[in-house]
Chains A and B, each alone.
Chain A
């Protein structure tokens, strides 16, 4: 079974520029998550989708971050405009729906904002 795929793996941009990350979850996983992991910290949930609907986006900075999962499979996370403090690893995870279903994480995209 293929794991969670993410691209790009690394991205360097200047502040005020925009950037987008892509995630392809494990086949059959209806729930998809985006996390932000700042260096030296644990991952923090940004947004959770079930199929193409948002379940939880309470910690997403909506003035600059947006995410979509139009067909209930792939997802994109966008930052516009980026700030220095957005430098982090952005992790995508997926799981089956409900109960004790394990979240499987992708390798992440490391973003550096200069």
Chain B
């Protein structure tokens, strides 16, 4: 099956720094999503990308859908302590009844005050 590789696996940064993480796939997806998961909770959608080359922002978060449709990146500007968590990329194929998500391996972000 499809595999999504995320890098880095974990990051330990200073508050105020910018963060960049990316996701690559062996297969093409028609949608890329970025989720954040905090301990004891399910993933929460941050940004959705629907077209190759699309660049979308959500507050301090910016994500891009790669031209090849096999990669995506997420940037977080001016990190704050509440950015701590695990960030997952996910690619989707749209089926007749819904969207089948394939998740990446996750990037754990830790922010030092």
Interface, chain A (partner B; CB < 8 A): 4, 30-31, 33, 40-45, 48, 50, 55-56, 59, 91, 93, 95, 97-108
| Residue contacts A-B, CB under 8 angstroms, 30 given | A31-B97, A33-B98, A33-B101, A41-B105, A42-B4, A42-B90, A42-B104, A42-B106, A43-B88, A43-B101, A48-B98, A50-B97, A55-B98, A56-B95, A56-B100, A91-B42, A91-B43, A95-B98, A95-B99, A97-B97, A97-B98, A98-B94, A99-B94, A100-B48, A100-B99, A101-B98, A102-B45, A103-B101, A105-B44, A107-B40
Alpha-carbon separation in the docked complex, A33 to B100 (Å): 9
Inter-chain contact A101/B99, CB cutoff 8 Å: yes
* B65 close to chain A: CB less than 8 A: no
Chain B residues numbered 1-54 whose CB sits less than 8 Å from any CB in chain A: 1, 4, 31, 40-45, 48, 50
CB distance from B11 to the nearest CB of A (A): 15
Inter-chain contact A45/B101, CB cutoff 8 Å: yes
Residues of B contacting A91 with CB < 8 Å? 42-43
Interface, chain B (partner A; CB < 8 A): 1, 4, 31, 40-45, 48, 50, 88, 90, 94-106
Q: Secondary structure at chain A's binding surface: helix, strand, loop or mixed?
A: loop
Residues of B contacting A50 with CB < 8 Å? 97-98
Q: Which residue of B lies closest to A31 (CB)?
A: B98
Query: 9 tightest CB-CB pairs across the interface, nearest first?
Result: A105-B42, A42-B103, A50-B97, A31-B98, A55-B97, A43-B103, A42-B88, A105-B43, A91-B42
Most buried by A among B40, B43, B96: B43
Q: Which residue of A lies closest to B35 (CB)?
A: A105
